Amino acid sequence: MPIDPQVQQIRAGRERGRVAPLYSMSVEAARAADLASIRAADGDPEKVHEVVEHWLPAPGGKVLLRVYRPSAEPSLPVLMYFFGGGWVLGTVDTADGIARSLANAAGCIVAVADYRLAPEHPFPAAIEDCWAAAEWVVDNAAAIGADPGRVAVGGDGAGGNLAAALTLMAQEAGGPRLAGQLLVCPSTDLSDATAADESMRTSDDPYLFNRHSVAWYRSQYLPDPDDAYNPLASPLQAERLAGLPPALVITAEYDPWRDQGERYAARLARDGVPVAVTRYEGMIHGFFAMSAALDGGKVALAQAAKQLRVWFQG
């Protein structure tokens, strides 16, 4: 399909403003520009019952965990949500709009961990922090009014990658048992094999997330190219996916990671994991965080919330 008219309007604005690609900036400038762009497309944040921050012990020191609660009801289910940004950009603020929307729509606590970023902290620092945060949430569920038996993981972009990797870690460790995995425009394979994907080869627009963006993020996150074959960096490289929690995989037509996300969904299905996959036609990478500007983002958020409710009721 043609690019969505609302997306085209955003792209045209970037072109008129001669907005530089994030990968052409310094890391510090790219981080600031990324957060400003997300906030501009996020609209007014929804109100939630409560937002509380905790500092957790983690391998690199302490990790901030921001907890969004939709109501005072006790023993609420929990979504551990990991923000996107190519493992290089992003903070808990990046996911603020998504967290608020999903907390209210799904009726669950949303917990967002401020994991360490590359290049200062390359792989596996991010997934180590996400694992530490997930363990803390389960171990301290009573203190935050959560149900440790109803925990799901999710994320967009690099956050989707981390969520998928965390399910592999949980399986290897024998728990926690996860209710589901919400993977939005996820990176599932950082190996060179994905260069042949149609979605990667044709993604060259300098005003959108493209294959050059992917290469830049990967070089920051994986200074050792051999790490691309570690399943915790590339879940699609795992030998088996059987026994993982049910998944919802959301992809965007104009996203270089589209094909690998859909290939991961096919692998999950082949290994017997219940999975639903939806491609949002005309959409771009990052649309999930742009619900104030893109109707597709609103629809995807509603789909995600509906799926979370099903998992938590099951």
Name which of 222, 26, 263 is nearest 123 in CA terms: 222
Asked whether residue 309 carries a pLDDT value surpassing 80, the answer given is yes
For 183-193, the pLDDT digits (tens) are: 999 999 999 99
Using an 8 Å Cβ cutoff, are 254 and 208 in contact?
yes
pLDDT level of residue 307 (50, 70, 90 thresholds): very high
Mean pLDDT in the chain?
97
Using an 8 Å Cβ cutoff, are 117 and 156 in contact?
no
Q: Tell me the H-state helices in the chain.
A: 5-16, 27-42, 96-106, 125-139, 158-173, 198-201, 211-221, 258-270, 295-313
Q: What is the CA radius of gyration of the chain?
A: 18
Asked whether residue 125 carries a pLDDT value surpassing 90, the answer given is yes
Residue 230 Cα to chain centre, angstroms: 19
Range of the domain at 265: 5-313
Question: Whole-prediction pTM value?
Answer: 0.98
For 56-106, the pLDDT digits (tens) are: 999 989 999 999 999 999 999 999 999 999 999 999 999 999 999 999 999
Q: Tell me, what's the pLDDT at 161?
A: 98
Number of structural domains in the chain: 1
d(CA 97, CA 156): 13
d(CA 90, CA 81): 13
Residue 187 carries which side chain, given as an amino acid letter? S
For 168-179, the pLDDT digits (tens) are: 999 999 999 999
For 218-276, the pLDDT digits (tens) are: 999 999 999 999 999 999 999 999 999 999 999 999 999 999 999 999 999 999 999 99
d(CA 159, CA 183): 8
Find the CATH number of the domain harbouring 132: 3.40.50.1820
Q: Tell me, what's the pLDDT at 1?
A: 81
Q: Which residues contact 233 (CB under 8 A, 6 or more apart)?
A: 123, 124, 161, 165, 190, 221, 222, 227
pLDDT level of residue 116 (50, 70, 90 thresholds): very high
d(CA 129, CA 120): 14
SS3 266: helix
